Structure formats: structure tokens, C-alpha cells
């Protein structure tokens, strides 16, 4: 249990811990190079607050009418699917 905590936190600790963790991962997985620190930071940030940031973007970028239009399209998915199947059916019958 302690090992899982240490392993999960190692990438967030000091450079010494990160290097030791990278060396271990290289030995265990055979990988030659670890992910760049900035990529890891971006990924972890996205994991933690990605949905919240996406929600804020949607709120600012799209006006009210387009949101309702997308909601209506999402609710209408079964009938859209049925129409697509019908078109495919017609083409196969020919």
C-alpha cells in the first residue's frame, strides 16, 4: 500500500525522486525515454480541471440558441439513427 502511494506521488516530487521513478519505469517497461515534464504537467492539469475548463469554454464560446440546438440533436439521435439505417437499407436493396 505504501508503495502505491510513493509510486503515484514520485512524479510530483523533487527531481531526485522523479529520476529514480523514471529509472524504475525504464527497467520495468523497457522504455527508453520518459515523458517530458511539461507534457506530464499538462496531462495532470487536464485530468484534474479539464472538464471544468471545457465547461467554461462552452459557456463563453456558444450562444444560448446553439446549445438548445445541440440538445435537440442529442435527444433526436434515435430517429437520426433510424433514418440512416433506412437509407442504408434502401441502397442495399437496390
How confident is the model over 43-83, as pLDDT tens digits? 889 999 999 999 898 888 887 788 788 888 888 888 888 88
pTM over 0.85: no
What pLDDT, on the 0 to 100 scale, is given for residue 69? 83
How big is the CA angle at 16 (ends 15 and 17), to the nearest 5 degrees? 90
Torsions phi, psi for 36 (to 5 deg): -60, 145
Mean model confidence pLDDT for the chain? 82
Q: pLDDT, tens digit, for every residue of 29-47?
A: 887 777 787 888 898 899 9
Q: Report the pLDDT value the prediction gives residue 52, as an integer from 0 to 100.
A: 93
Instruction: Tell me the CA distances in angstroms from 11 to 45, 66, 86, 93, one per residue in order.
Output: 13, 41, 53, 58
Amino acid at each position: 500500500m505504501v508503495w502505491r502511494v510513493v509510486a503515484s506521488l514520485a512524479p510530483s516530487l523533487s527531481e531526485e525522486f522523479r529520476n529514480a521513478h523514471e529509472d524504475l519505469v525504464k527497467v520495468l517497461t523497457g522504455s527508453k525515454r520518459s515523458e517530458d515534464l511539461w507534457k506530464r504537467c499538462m496531462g495532470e492539469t487536464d485530468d484534474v480541471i479539464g472538464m471544468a475548463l471545457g465547461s467554461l469554454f462552452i459557456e463563453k464560446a456558444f450562444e444560448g440558441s446553439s446549445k438548445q440546438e445541440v440538445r435537440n440533436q442529442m435527444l433526436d439521435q434515435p430517429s437520426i439513427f433510424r433514418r440512416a439505417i433506412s437509407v442504408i437499407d434502401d441502397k442495399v436493396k437496390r
